[in-house]
Structure 1
């Protein structure tokens, strides 16, 4: 039956039709006037508004094309509906219901424009009655995320997540897995049957890289070689992909058979990954892949390489047996799998007896504080403690398995550190930072998700802090009446003779002293670590430079004999003393040579022989 046969709904339909041509405030005034003039109950008005606006909304969707920018009437109608929701003239979630239907009726390109409207109206649509709208918002955004590809629509997925984060408060429990359930439906399918003889006869021949020798392996089951050890990829293939079932169901590891399977799988995987790094035939390819992961050209962001770059964001990998060899030699693939292993190992370490006792004490402290401040009721704290014990008491990691987990985690961390320069260390630091934050999030969930909110500062405290800051600024800017040392000017009247100044003058080290110091530096270099070598070499170079400066007036020819520091022994032994003396006589015919036995006249100082201030400081 059409709503036109219902008088109240028919009148609201007229208002809905006019809302596409006028402002939302006028539509609100008309709806309020009709509600006051009618004797119907409030629920009847809400049902009439819902039916009238839905019918007009669906008619507009069927007649307008969003690709031609003809959706202005629909945006106006949605604005009017949101205003009616805020004033409780219809169901609070009616606006998001209509948006949900709008997203379902369009392609991804049309959803972009619909989501632009949601982002512009987010504050207005989530300001009132959020508790009645939160489930609709979650369902609307989650349905949209299921339609999007994480690889091709990465930016759009990020916009949807940001919209959710901005709409819900920071401590909302909507995305919290309070029961600790695992996503067991995430199954990884692969070929569990062993490779039959003759299956590898049709493999594609790959030319060996330049400068490398072609492998002699003719066995259909591919292998990764390093030295004398060999890991057959055909044997590793089912073991490797079977680990995914353990990653999705970590509690199975507390069964003896599953734990042994996990240990064997991780051991074989790490052996294979290590051999891939050490394999001489693929070292160049691995290095090139690492460099490509660190730095890419600007041209790689568009054109034919766009698909390759976006594939790095794909959360799932292909499990075809023929692709396993290529995947193993991809550094991003290896890191992805090892990070999964680190997550699982941290989960196991959190279930040791020591970690569980520490976690229980931390959570009890948080719950006690919440109960004392009145933010949590005592019965809720007790029920949360009982639920936590039910989850964690049954699962306890043994000491033997704990030692293996710690050793395996260190091995994986050491492997992840290997990379192009410092890139591996940066990657490991990023992973550890994310895992540490995840531990804090787990504690927050176990403590019944306390509200992440800080109480506002009282006005009196704010005024007191302002007064204290003003007093501190006055004290800091107040002039000092008698600065320290202001009256200690007696040194100005003291005078010293030139002879006294000569005695205080620092002595420049001789060339022999510089040479002995450089020999000590050479000895230190033999026992220095990699971090100390650079400092010792710089210290030695500085001493050689100062030695050449001190000898520039008498033994300038040493600069040629030392040969950029390769022959520091020339400072004391390589130069003939007689030749040096002859050169000094020829160069000093027109000037008087000052010797140690001669002293300048009283009250005079030979400027040439006196060391400069820079030389004294360098010595």
Structure 2
């Protein structure tokens, strides 16, 4: 059996070597793209890897073993920067083709790419990942759990090697690849256990705490401060007001100096990375004091962008918004000498305050009102906390959140920036709720053809019954009869039901409406008569436009516009045809079309008489 396996491995390795040599002539380029057209390497009747006998699992194991031997040989002898490294890309394309047709294991290509990433530097990893991005659709076309695990493992291992400060673009490419490889509702990207990133420890110089004065000295100093404050009268504007944070019992925090604020400020990072530590009352009070002192110092500091300040000192031209956005650094330095400069940096302030908003939103999900929501009762155990935020602490959280929001909206682009932050945090609440509801799938499975065909006759029958019932219950034409004796159909056959009325009839209706308006007693009655008059006027003008369009310059808006169409424009027109003037000036002053219309009206009157 072992001899047979060795023989099959050698045969498959020889076949793969022949295919790689043929691929050199088929793909002239030495780069990653375009992908190798594996179907063109052999004819239709010829098998890709030759005739390999044995069980399916044994054949796939033999192909995997032979492919790994060739892969490791190429990898150990050819640097990734050499043009001949194209053989590795071609080999991966061939193995992907084999995996789709179950000639080898489907995750073989991803396993080899994982080995390739481990063997390369960061520069080489960029090239390997470019290959992975260009073949993403082919790799995830036939997706299964084994592939998903390898993709997650190799991407997470690559992210651990990368520096978010030095390689933010490469990290973004890795995240985008994972987002495109997994569906939106996949649980692989969800922190189901609700763990926090406690490994993200922020270290800072705490020598100021070690050199703090003794308790006795602090008490004496506090007594002196209180005595001095009692002796000096306070002006009206200097009265102690309630804190902006919304709690009436808390006074407005005093602004600390740089040395005192330094350890207080950086201690906030302990709560940002591990929010459950605030469940202890002492830590929560410390967090309140630290956040209030930080916000007060931010409001006092003269903010300036670090990039703009550097350009101002160098006398350079101001930068654009895109260049300011590229200065983002996810990990700030905690040196004591840089602290004063960081407090004045607008980007630094926004970074800290957005972290505070995220933590406050987390605390507000632990209120009594939030825990009474239906989805919280059915949440998974990891997302249910026994801690409940007290009412006074809830008021403080809402107040400090409002204060931070108002401060972030200051400046030229403050409102735009805060709207972006608020939109992201609002959408994040939906994700939190989805996780608390045990991550129900977003999509539903397609209805099978058999179920669809089986339900089709019943749906058609239900619709048919509804239509017949509606026809049976439809009313007749008797409702059109005013006294109940005349049939509705006979009334429709009357001439006045399908003959359009004349413009003159609408003019008479309007005259009657004017009389009714004079006799109206209530405002509601007047309003209805005005609406009817306006509707009849519009209809009459539309009918009159067909044969009296030349007279439309005579009416004035709101002054009997329809009635004036049927009144003589001058005394000459009223005199008739026989007394028409012969002077050219007078004749030109009378519209010729109006005279012809009057002649037609006179003839019609004589014929009628």
Q: TM-score, normalised by structure 2?
A: 0.61
Tell me if the contact between 1:86 and 1:129 (Cα under 8 Å) persists in the aligned partners: no
Instruction: Map 1:417-432 to 2 at 5 A.
Output: 417-420=409-412, 423-432=413-422
2:278 counterpart residue number: 253
- Distance in 1 (CA, whole Å) between partners of 2:341 and 2:188 is 40
Tell me if the contact between 1:191 and 1:238 (Cα under 8 Å) persists in the aligned partners: yes
2:435 counterpart residue number: 445
1:127 counterpart residue number: 141
- Distance in 1 (CA, whole Å) between partners of 2:149 and 2:305 is 48
- Distance in 1 (CA, whole Å) between partners of 2:549 and 2:47 is 97
Which of 156, 167, 171 is 1:157 aligned to? 171
- Distance in 1 (CA, whole Å) between partners of 2:411 and 2:327 is 21
Instruction: Find the structure with the greater CA-based Rg.
Output: 2
- Distance in 2 (CA, whole Å) between partners of 1:503 and 1:400 is 65
The reply to whether residue 61 of structure 1 matches residue 75 of structure 2 is yes
| Helix, strand or coil at the partner of 1:318 | coil
- Distance in 1 (CA, whole Å) between partners of 2:159 and 2:299 is 38
Cα shift at 1:441: 0.5
Which of 394, 399, 403 is 2:391 aligned to? 399
- Distance in 2 (CA, whole Å) between partners of 1:501 and 1:310 is 66
Cα shift at 1:22: 3.4
The reply to whether residue 238 of structure 1 matches residue 263 of structure 2 is yes
After superposition, the Cα gap between the structure-2 partners of 1:176 and 1:432, relative to the gap in structure 1 and judged at 3 Å, is: same
1:143 counterpart residue number: 157
Cα shift at 1:448: 1.9
The reply to whether residue 274 of structure 1 matches residue 289 of structure 2 is no
| Helix, strand or coil at the partner of 2:96 | helix
Cα shift at 1:418: 0.9
> CA offsets, 1:254-279, max 9 Å, x none?
11111111011111111111111xxx
- Distance in 2 (CA, whole Å) between partners of 1:94 and 1:326 is 52
Which of 346, 351, 360 is 1:331 aligned to? 346
- Distance in 1 (CA, whole Å) between partners of 2:405 and 2:308 is 20
- Distance in 1 (CA, whole Å) between partners of 2:558 and 2:139 is 86
Could you tell me which runs of 5 or more consecutive residues in structure 2 were left unpaired when the two chains were aligned.
Answer: 24-37, 212-237, 240-253, 461-497, 502-534, 561-609
| Helix, strand or coil at the partner of 1:415 | helix
> CA offsets, 1:299-346, max 9 Å, x none?
9589xx98x86441x211001111100100101001100000000000
- Distance in 2 (CA, whole Å) between partners of 1:501 and 1:417 is 54
After superposition, the Cα gap between the structure-2 partners of 1:76 and 1:486, relative to the gap in structure 1 and judged at 3 Å, is: same
| Helix, strand or coil at the partner of 2:267 | helix
> CA offsets, 1:552-583, max 9 Å, x none?
xxxxxxxxxxxxxxxxxxxxxxxxxxxxxxxx
| Helix, strand or coil at the partner of 2:366 | coil
Cα shift at 1:58: 1.2
> CA offsets, 1:162-203, max 9 Å, x none?
211111111111111111111111111111111899xxxxxx
- Distance in 1 (CA, whole Å) between partners of 2:557 and 2:20 is 99
| Helix, strand or coil at the partner of 2:188 | coil
Cα shift at 1:501: 7.7
| Helix, strand or coil at the partner of 1:183 | coil
1:16 counterpart residue number: 16
After superposition, the Cα gap between the structure-2 partners of 1:60 and 1:405, relative to the gap in structure 1 and judged at 3 Å, is: same
After superposition, the Cα gap between the structure-2 partners of 1:298 and 1:234, relative to the gap in structure 1 and judged at 3 Å, is: closer
Which of 19, 44, 54 is 2:58 aligned to? 44
Cα shift at 1:149: 3.0
Could you tell me which runs of 5 or more consecutive residues in structure 1 were left unpaired when the two chains were aligned.
Answer: 198-226, 277-281, 365-384, 465-479, 506-619
Per mean C-alpha deviation after superposition, the further-off stretch among 229-238 and 163-172 is: 229-238
After superposition, the Cα gap between the structure-2 partners of 1:18 and 1:406, relative to the gap in structure 1 and judged at 3 Å, is: same
| Helix, strand or coil at the partner of 1:109 | helix
Which of 256, 262, 265 is 2:287 aligned to? 262
- Distance in 1 (CA, whole Å) between partners of 2:259 and 2:335 is 12
- Distance in 1 (CA, whole Å) between partners of 2:376 and 2:158 is 36
1:355 counterpart residue number: 370
- Distance in 2 (CA, whole Å) between partners of 1:59 and 1:180 is 44
1:34 counterpart residue number: 51
Cα shift at 1:109: 2.7
Which of 330, 339, 354 is 1:315 aligned to? 330
Number of residues of Structure 1 aligned to a counterpart in Structure 2: 417
- Distance in 2 (CA, whole Å) between partners of 1:181 and 1:497 is 81
Cα shift at 1:4: 11
Cα shift at 1:12: 1.7
Cα shift at 1:103: 1.8
After superposition, the Cα gap between the structure-2 partners of 1:497 and 1:255, relative to the gap in structure 1 and judged at 3 Å, is: closer
Cα shift at 1:388: 2.4
After superposition, the Cα gap between the structure-2 partners of 1:299 and 1:30, relative to the gap in structure 1 and judged at 3 Å, is: farther
Tell me if the contact between 2:107 and 2:150 (Cα under 8 Å) persists in the aligned partners: yes
1:7 counterpart residue number: 7
2:403 counterpart residue number: 411
Q: TM-score, normalised by structure 1?
A: 0.60
Tell me if the contact between 2:306 and 2:345 (Cα under 8 Å) persists in the aligned partners: no
- Distance in 2 (CA, whole Å) between partners of 1:61 and 1:486 is 88
- Distance in 1 (CA, whole Å) between partners of 2:549 and 2:148 is 85
1:104 counterpart residue number: 118
